[in-house]
Amino acid sequence: MEELVYKKQNSYEKAPDKTAAAFEFAKDYMQFLDSSKTEREAVDTAIEAAVKAGFTPYTLGDKVAAGDKRYLNNRGKSLILFRVGSESLDLGARITAAHIDSPRIDLKQQPLYEADGMAFFKTHYYGGLRKYQWTATPLALHGVVIRADGESIRISIGEDAGDPVFYINDLLPHLAAAQSKEPLATAIKGEDLNILCGSAPLAEAGDDPIKRNVLKLLNEKYGITESDFVSAELSVVPATGARDIGFDRALIGSYGHDDRVCAYPALRAILDTDDTTHTQICVLADKEEIGSMGVSGMQSAVFSDLVDELCLALGANPRVCRAASVCLSADVTAAYDPNFASVYEKRNSAIVGCGVAMSKFTGSRGKSGSSDASAELVGRIRRMLDGAGVVWQTAELGKVDEGGGGTVAMFIANRNIDTLDIGVPVISMHAPFEVVSKVDVYSAYEAFKTFTK
Ligand code: MN
Ligand code: MN
């Protein structure tokens, strides 16, 4: 009877021996989170780890040979790491694909203005965020400015204890009677997300003395002028770092778990594996939160170009290689939350602590926008995970017709590569401070590492 019935079990019951390793792994992951608040920073952190593991840079067109460990840095915004196996690429590659961009608030190209004793930046939010969550909380400024002279200036303000932070004003409850009656979606509007960035005027500056003071300080520190914002990518993200949550320290609270909580285990899996037979590829993509478009998104031809180039260099057929390849689309799913039980279908939801969650399909309104993996592929991955003793579960993102979401899976599957979604369940996904379970992060690492073999 025990074997007849499927029973979801949490990692603590099913594999208590893994808990200590999971808590250790979480320490490394939390360091990665704090040093990787944007896709550019995640690329830098990942390259640093890859170089330590013996990976070397690769450019399209380079020669490659079995045993090579290389990385393709795509414009500093996305990264593809690969290990060339001894087996022919006609037998396919093992691919993991996660994304390293997260919802945030970007500065506009003419951002700085002054109004009534304060200076602000105008913004346009990036990805699906609940705007009210981003007010009245400390924010850090990250990004890059390409100056008129072509010089690239990196900016990161608000992360060190002595740094100033930035802020989005909200209304005091005393005057919020009308605002409090508005729906959550419209109480704070897109154009209300203005970043407070100064309030001291520059003496004898004429018009807009506070704005001019901000510009003077920026010029002193970075050599930039107001026109340089035109060629900048500046974002505000929560200034808080990753922290343990709860008396038992079993959860991690942080900005950006979606999708660094899958990107980091996927990265570590390809760095740590001792498999030399299979060719492995790990994609850390940008732009997932806004549709995976553009040169650094998963829809970019760079991924297919790399597979083509590897096959060309190693005497394999890229079409045959893709048809024989398998991909784990490593992205987060929603964790079942008893506080908001009505939007979930509990039997098919991911439960915190029950391991990495496999989603045969994603999408919304009748699976629309999902690549819906085949039963054969799910069967193959399921056998692999069970064979290696990985704690895993299945997931569906909420009730039918309640909403939904997508991942990069379809963009890989469209290239004739068998692809299955699997990732870590997240509480309060897309919030400035999201929550995951340490044992779930570790089970993702175990799943990706098993997959490389
Ligand atoms: Mn995601
Ligand atoms: Mn997301």
Span from the CA of 419 to the centroid of ligand 1 (angstroms): 16
pLDDT tens digits for 370-405? 999 999 999 999 999 999 999 999 999 999 999 999
pLDDT confidence band for 204 (50 / 70 / 90): confident
What pLDDT, on the 0 to 100 scale, is given for residue 154?
97
Span from the CA of 315 to the centroid of ligand 1 (angstroms): 35
Closest residue by Cα to residue 261 from 330, 172, 205: 330
In whole angstroms, give the CA distance from residue 241 to residue 263.
18
Q: Quote the mean pLDDT of the chain.
A: 97
pLDDT tens digits for 12-34? 999 999 999 999 999 999 999 99
Span from the CA of 402 to the centroid of ligand 2 (angstroms): 17
User: Could you tell me which residues come within 8 angstroms of residue 295 by beta carbon, excluding any fewer than 6 positions away?
Assistant: 74, 75, 302
What pLDDT, on the 0 to 100 scale, is given for residue 431?
98
Span from the CA of 123 to the centroid of ligand 1 (angstroms): 22
From the CA of 434, which ligand is nearest? 2
What pLDDT, on the 0 to 100 scale, is given for residue 187?
96
Q: Residues in the chain, how many? A: 453
Q: How many other C-beta atoms can be found within 10 angstroms of the C-beta atom of residue 419?
A: 24
pLDDT confidence band for 286 (50 / 70 / 90): very high
- Location of structure tokens 């498999």: 275
From the CA of 330, which ligand is nearest? 1
Instruction: Examine the pLDDT at 228 and tell me if it is beyond 80.
Output: yes
pLDDT tens digits for 335-355? 999 999 999 999 999 999 999
Span from the CA of 259 to the centroid of ligand 2 (angstroms): 7
In whole angstroms, give the CA distance from residue 393 to residue 450.
16
From the CA of 97, which ligand is nearest? 1
Q: How many other C-beta atoms can be found within 10 angstroms of the C-beta atom of residue 124?
A: 13
From the CA of 407, which ligand is nearest? 1
DSSP strand pairing (326-329 vs 93-99):
parallel
Instruction: Examine the pLDDT at 420 and tell me if it is beyond 90.
Output: yes
pLDDT confidence band for 3 (50 / 70 / 90): confident
Span from the CA of 103 to the centroid of ligand 1 (angstroms): 9
For residues 7 and 433, the model is more confident at 433
Element (H, E) at 155: strand 152-157
| Contact call for residues 324 and 91 (beta carbons, < 8 A) | yes
What pLDDT, on the 0 to 100 scale, is given for residue 1?
81
What pLDDT, on the 0 to 100 scale, is given for residue 290?
97
From the CA of 129, which ligand is nearest? 2
Query: What is the secondary structure of 354-373 as a DSSP string?
Result: S-EEEES--EETTTBT----
From the CA of 289, which ligand is nearest? 2
End-to-end CA distance of the chain: 33
pLDDT confidence band for 114 (50 / 70 / 90): very high
| CA-to-CA separations, 333 to 17, 405, 414, in angstroms, rounded | 25, 9, 21
User: Could you tell me which residues come within 8 angstroms of residue 298 by beta carbon, excluding any fewer than 6 positions away?
Assistant: 97, 99, 283, 285, 287, 288, 292, 408, 411, 412
Span from the CA of 363 to the centroid of ligand 2 (angstroms): 13
What pLDDT, on the 0 to 100 scale, is given for residue 13?
96
Span from the CA of 253 to the centroid of ligand 2 (angstroms): 16
pTM comes to 0.97
pLDDT tens digits for 72-96? 999 999 999 999 999 999 999 999 9
Instruction: Examine the pLDDT at 198 and tell me if it is beyond 80.
Output: yes
pLDDT confidence band for 2 (50 / 70 / 90): confident
What pLDDT, on the 0 to 100 scale, is given for residue 453?
87
What pLDDT, on the 0 to 100 scale, is given for residue 16?
97
Instruction: Examine the pLDDT at 200 and tell me if it is beyond 80.
Output: yes
Span from the CA of 259 to the centroid of ligand 1 (angstroms): 5
Instruction: Examine the pLDDT at 205 and tell me if it is beyond 90.
Output: no
pLDDT tens digits for 243-279? 999 999 999 999 999 999 999 999 999 999 999 999 9
Span from the CA of 119 to the centroid of ligand 1 (angstroms): 33
Span from the CA of 40 to the centroid of ligand 2 (angstroms): 17
From the CA of 263, which ligand is nearest? 1
